[in-house]
Structure 1
Amino acid sequence: MMSIAQQLASTIEKYQPVILEEWLQDLKARMVRVDPEAESTMRGQCSQFLRVLAQGAAAGQLVDIEGREWEETRLFLAELSQQRARQGSTPSETATFVFSIKQPLFARLRVEFAADPETLAAATWQVSTLLDALGLFTVEVYQKSRDQIIIRQQQELLELSTPVVKLWQNVLALPLIGTLDSNRTQVVMESLLQRIVETSAAIAIIDITGVPTVDTLVAQHLLKTVAAARLMGADCIISGIRPQIAQTIVHLGVNLEDVMTKATLADAFLVALERTGSTITQARD
């Protein structure tokens, strides 16, 4: 006598075309816009899921989706969830792909077990539990994929928000805008040191005009960046010291005596030119 798992596999294989069409109709009804390409892709995904679902069930157990029997099913759903995360689908839309197969599948199970209500009840419960577990698996993979995407986007934004500009021969400028935290400090330091190596710069101007507040932590981050640049052979000038920031630094007791500071980027640039032996003259009319 076949187990419920094996009977599920047999039912899927027997009614595969009918289950597929009813499932597709339900999925298309949930979509805002259906085009031929999207429908073709969805049909292929549904067909593949029915195949791996029947293959896993044929192995004989519906309880543990972490088992070897369900490895191919997990791989398929993981790839599907990652793809939908990249496309901007919601977690519920992703899980619905699995949950929506219940209605057409249970309809076929009722036909197969019409003469055995007890077995039908047991089969319905086991298959429903299996599909719930697979649906939750897609949500977990989706969430991990979204987290990775968000982290990558944050990293890209950090890199874009810390441009190192070559102002003059041997002179670099690093304009900072926004809050300076530990993660951003690391990106700032890496970007600045990399550019110092590439350009052999002797002076690096760190402009904090766009930094809204300077507290002890921000000041310590600045000092670490200055120290790292000096180890690479470049001296640093901090510009953008507004009156309120100067007062805050004094009240905090932060020691910036070893660091050249200027009120504006222009003032810092003039000092940098002087230190590198360059001068600017105004052309006569």
Structure 2
Amino acid sequence: MESAQVADKAMSVRLVELLTEQRKALGSAWVDAVSRTLRGRISEAELDRELQELFTALVEGLRQGGFDWQGEDFAEVRALLTELSRNRARQGFTTTETATSVLAFKAILAPTTDSSAQDITVYLQLSQLMDALALFTMEVYARTREELISAQSEQLLELSTPVVKLWDGVVAVPLVGTLDSVRTQVVMEKLLQTLVDTGSEQAIIDITGVPAVDTEVAQHLLKTVVAARLMGAECTISGIRPQIAQTIVALGIQFGDIVTKATLADALKHALRRGGVDPMTAGGRP
């Protein structure tokens, strides 16, 4: 065990010597190699800054911690790679383009026919180290992409479930697309918040844009209605087309005392009447 540690230490010392001796040439070659892969989508100055900082941290990590990239001495390397990976993910680069920013370092220090046996062994150790760092980079990249996709999905849910004020005291939620448990939660939260903000007592849930209503969708609608009622608002469901009506009957779905209407216009008239406004002579504030 001790002899292996001594050998690793000797190799890391030799690698630090090689990197330090050729610092300028290797750094420049690394930037050039990565720049060709990224095809000018990052400025030369920014790329040079990223890789030169990483080069410095890598040499220092090797000097202090040998090849133990998971140790404290490589903390700066991991931090820089995390920043690089997250930036690449946000900028729309692929996993391959991101990993190449690390793996390209292997090619610029590849041994030649004139290299000694020791230097070839050192290069093999460096190759394993850079492979490990590239995998780390890809893991961070993947997590960042997942975070971005999740955030975009939430934003799409927000956009696809607007709550609009139709009249003084009347709000509506026009639903388009499939209604699932996640979207139902968003609808509930937005509807309840709007009821509080506007002081409305009438809510319309319009399902004209919902392609089909099954037992699960019906349960989601009922939950939303119950939540609104707990806030003191009465709900009307509009957009009950003939096909949906037939499906509801066939499935034996019961909406209980919830009022349903064929169109949003009919639901608005009903809500106005419940609010004490005559739709024919409405003088309320839209």
**TM-score when scaled to structure 1?**
0.92
Q: Distance in 1 between matches of 2:281 and 2:272?
A: 15
Separation (CA, whole Å) in 2 of partners of 1:55 and 1:224? 59
Query: Which stretches in structure 1 are left out of the alignment for 5+ residues?
Result: none
Instruction: Return structure 1 stretches of 4+ with deviation > 4 angstroms.
Output: none
Measured after TM superposition, the shift of residue 3 of structure 1 is 1.5
Equivalent-residue separation in structure 2 for 1:88 and 1:194 (angstroms)? 35
Cα distance, 1:65 vs structure 2: 2.2
Aligned to 2:46: 41
Give the Cα–Cα distance (whole angstroms) in 2 for the partners of residues 186 and 282 of structure 1: 37
The answer (yes or no) to whether the contact 2:273–2:279 under 8 Å persists in 1 is: no
Question: Contact (CA 8 Å) 2:64, 2:73: kept in 1 or not?
Answer: yes
* 1:101-147 CA-partner distances (Å, limit 9, x unpaired): 1122235xx69x94x41x22321221100000001111110010000
Residue type of the alignment partner of 1:15 = Q
Q: CA deviation at 1:31?
A: 3.4
**1: CA distance between counterparts of 2:36 and 2:99?**
16
Give runs of aligned pairs for residues 81-92 of structure 1, distance below 5 A: 81-92=85-96
Q: Distance in 2 between matches of 1:257 and 1:79?
A: 55
Residue 166 of structure 1 aligns to a residue whose secondary structure is strand
Q: Secondary structure of 1:106's partner? A: coil
Is the contact made by 1:102 and 1:128 (CA closer than 8 Å) also made in structure 2?
yes
Query: How far 1:282 moved relative to its partner?
Result: 6.4
Give the equivalent residue in structure 2 for 1:158. Answer: 157
Deviation string, structure 1 residues 28-54 (Cα, Å, up to 9, x no partner): 3323336xx700001111101110110
TM-score in terms of structure 2 length: 0.91
Contact 1:6 1:60 in 2 (8 A): no
Query: What residue number does 1:65 align with?
Result: 69
CA contact (8 A) 1:99 1:135 kept: yes
Partner of 1:17: 24
2:65·2:74 contact (CA, 8 Å) conserved in 1? no
Q: Which amino acid aligns with 2:239?
A: G
Stretch moving more, 25-34 or 121-130: 25-34
Output the CA distance in 1 between the equivalents of 2:21 and 2:100.
Answer: 24
Paired amino acid for 1:280: P
For 2:235 and 2:279, the matched residues in 1 are separated by 21
Alignment pair present for 1:94 and 2:98: yes
Q: Distance in 2 between matches of 1:242 and 1:103?
A: 65
1:237 partner SS: strand
CA contact (8 A) 2:38 2:97 kept: no
CA distance in 2 between counterparts of 1:66 and 1:27 reads 24
2:204 is paired with a residue whose SS is strand
Indicate the percent of aligned positions where both proteins have the same amino acid: 48
Q: What's the RMSD between the two structures over aligned residues?
A: 1.8
Partner of 2:3: none
Q: How big is each residue's C-alpha offset from its partner over 1:161-193, in whole Å with a ceiling of 9 and x where there is no partner? A: 111000111100110000001110110010000
